[in-house]
Structure 1
Amino acid sequence: MSTLTSLDALGLEVLYLDRARAFYERHLQREARDIEDGHAVALDVGGTDLLLREPSTVPRGGLHVHYAMGAPFERYDAWYDALSESFDLEEVTFGDATSLYFFDPDGHCVEIGQRDVSDETDGLTGVFEVVLEVEDLERAEDFYRALGFEPVDRGDERPRIRLDGPMSLELWEPHRGLADARGGVHADLRFSGTPLDAIEAVGERALDVEVREDSNAVRIRDPDGHYLTVERE
C-alpha cells in the first residue's frame, strides 16, 4: 500500500529566474507566482506545481530533470502546433499515445504526453512522470517500492526501471534516454500522503529524515540525494 497519494510539486533549479519564468509563462501559458522570498516561482500545471528555483536553498531543485505533463488527446495537437513554432520537437509514440519533447534554457527535458482524461484542466493534467538518476538501480528500486511504487517496465539495453505509484517514476543509472534526456540529480519532489508511514517505510534507508510542522510533514533524502517531502493530506 502506498504511503504517497499525489505528486503536488516538482522543483527545478534554474540559473536565471527571470529567464526561466518568462520561458515557462510563454510556452506553458501559465502565470507564475512568487514564492520563497523571491528566490523561486511556482506555476500550476494541472494540479502539480512546477517550482523554478535559483541556487539558494536546500532542497535546491533538480538539475537536468526529464519530466512529463499530460494533455488530453483532443488538446495534444494544439500544444504541438503552438510549440513547434519555437522548437524542433521530437515525438515518440507509446501504444496509442504520443509524446512531444523539447528543452528549457536550463537543460530540463519537458515532455507533454497524451493522457486519457475527461477533465481538460485548462489543457494540462499535471506531472505524470519524473525521471531520476540513481547510482545503484537495485537499491533505488527497493527504496521506492517500500514507499508503495510498483515496477511495470525494465530496460533491455539501458539500466532503467519504470515504477507506478501516485505518478510514474523512472529510475535510470546514468545514460542519455529519449530525446537525449538525462535523469535528474538532487531532485525535489513533494507529495501528499502519510508522513509517519513514510518514515516507517524508508527511514532506516534514507540519508536524512527531518520531521517538520508537528509531524504533519516529513522531508526524506533518498540514498541518491533526492529530496522527498511528504505532507499530510
Structure 2
Amino acid sequence: MPLRVICTALLAAVLAGILLVVWAGGDSSALATAGVADGPTTVVLASGDPGPEVGPAAEDAGGAGCVDDATSASVPSPVQPGTDALSGATGAPDAASGATGTTAADLDAFRTAYEEHREAACLGLLPAANVRHDACLEQYLFWVAGDPSPDPLSAWGHKGEVVRSDGVPPVGCDGNLAGGTATTGDVAAAKWWASAPHRSTVYRPDFRGDLAHACVGFAAVHGGAPDDSPDFVRSASRWYAC
C-alpha cells in the first residue's frame, strides 16, 4: 500500500477519535447533583475573614482568559424569565431561636460573590434566579441557632453528627456550612471557595451539564439563643437540579 494512502488513513482515524471525544464531552442529558451534605468538613471561624485552605492547595482553581470548550462549561446560560429570585428572603425572626433569617441583602451579596468566583475561574454563570433563598436550609440553621447552650458552636455541624443541648431533634435540610462573626453572604462564598472540599460541592467545577437547570440554595441566620450577637451569622448552601 502506498505511503500516502497509509498516512491519509491514519490521519482520518485520529480526527475521528478527536471528534468522538468532543461529542461525548458535550453530553448534558443528565444533571449530576451533589448531596445536600458535604460530609464532616465545615468552615467555622470567629472572624469574617475567609478561612485557610482545607485539603489540597487551591492553585489552578481559576485563571484569566477563558476559552470556550466543547462542553460549553464556560458559556453563561440564558436567564430563565418569570422567577422571583428574592422570593422568601425576608429576614423574618424565628420565635423559637430569637434569630433572624435570610435577608435580600444576604442573598444578593452571596449571589454576586458566587458568580464572580465562577466567572474568574471560567466556570460559567448560573442564571441569577437560580441562586436562590433556601427555606429548608434556613430551617436547619434556626434549629442550630436555637440551642440554649451559651456556646455558639453547640449543635454546629451536620445532621446526624451533632445534637442540641436540650435534646430537640433536628429539622430542615443539611448542606455546606460556614459561620462566624460578620460572615456576610460574600464572605460565606469566599470561605467555600477557599476550601477545596466545599468548592467541589458549592461551585461544582466538574459539572458539564446545562447550567440553566442547576440551582444553588442559600440561607443565612443572624444571632440565636440564648444571647448570640446578631453579627454572628450561620450560613448554608447546596447545589441541586431545578
TM-score (ref. length: structure 2): 0.24
Structure with greater strand percent: 1
TM-score (ref. length: structure 1): 0.25
Structure with greater helix percent: 2
